[in-house]
Amino acid sequence: MKMMKCLLPLAATLVLAACQTYQPQPYDYTAFKESNPKSILVLPPLNESPDVKATWGMLTATTFPLSEAGYYVFPVAVAAEVFKQNGLTNAADIHDVKLDKLHSIFGNDAVLYVTVKEYGTKYQVLQSVTTVRAEAKLVDAHTGKELWSGSAVASDAGQKSNNNILAALLGAIIDQVVGTLGDKGYDMAQTAGVQLLSPAKHNGILHGPRSPHYQKEPGQR
């Protein structure tokens, strides 16, 4: 009985410790603040998924969150045309272009490198799941120093639940037909882009000079 009384406080302490929410280490924004970029050139994302639409689907998802964060973002269509005129149409080749060359062409302060790790819809017997997972890093165009990096994943897996097998099967068929005609990955990429590049997320990108929250770290107001 005495042993039980001794163990109860220890058990309670362990339970409380397990229930505490894990908080990642705060990001070190020293290099970011020193660089103080005002304009960002987004390169076509590298695609490590089997879906050929991933590069452009994810690229279109970057402009809005970065602009909302307070940065000037070079229009992706204009940048793509400039690369094309210089014989560069492959994302991997564009990622290999030296920073000083990019800066001499665009006059950008920073470059955003994005890699798509997963993109598209996987069809199963009773449901389909669309997932987009991406990583990004922001680099100073003058020094090559990494200013920030992050990752995000967006999926509709948790949005679908149906206990009726017939309804679930019918829903899966409809999803597959719709997915064949369109690009559900594109819609999910827009969500992933916001999650990846929004200053609202923990350890997210800093607010830019056009934001009223300029230089404040994510979560600060």
Supply the pLDDT for residue 7.
45
- Could you tell me the pTM of the whole model? 0.80
Look at strands 146-155 and 72-73 and give their pairing: unpaired
Question: Domain map of the chain by residue range?
Answer: 25-120+131-154+185-197
Please give the average per-residue pLDDT across 117-142, as a whole number: 87
**130-156 tens-digit pLDDT:** 999 999 999 999 999 999 999 999 998
Burial of residue 215 (number of CB atoms within 10 Å: 0-12, 13-18, 19+): middle
Supply the pLDDT for residue 172.
55
Residue 176 has pLDDT above 90, yes or no: no
The encoded tokens of residue 217 equal 């770290």
For the chain, the distance separating the N- and C-terminal CA atoms, rounded to the nearest angstrom, is 53
CATH of domain 25-120+131-154+185-197: 3.40.50.10610
Q: What φ, ψ does residue 99 adopt, rounded to 5°?
A: -60, -40
State percent of the chain over pLDDT 70. 74
Please give the average per-residue pLDDT across 62-73, as a whole number: 96
DSSP labels, 52-115: TTHHHHHHTTTHHHHHHHT-EE--HHHHHHHHHHTT--SHHHHHTS-HHHHHHHH--SEEEEEE
User: Does residue 218 or residue 192 have the better pLDDT?
Assistant: 192
The encoded tokens of residue 89 equal 């149409």
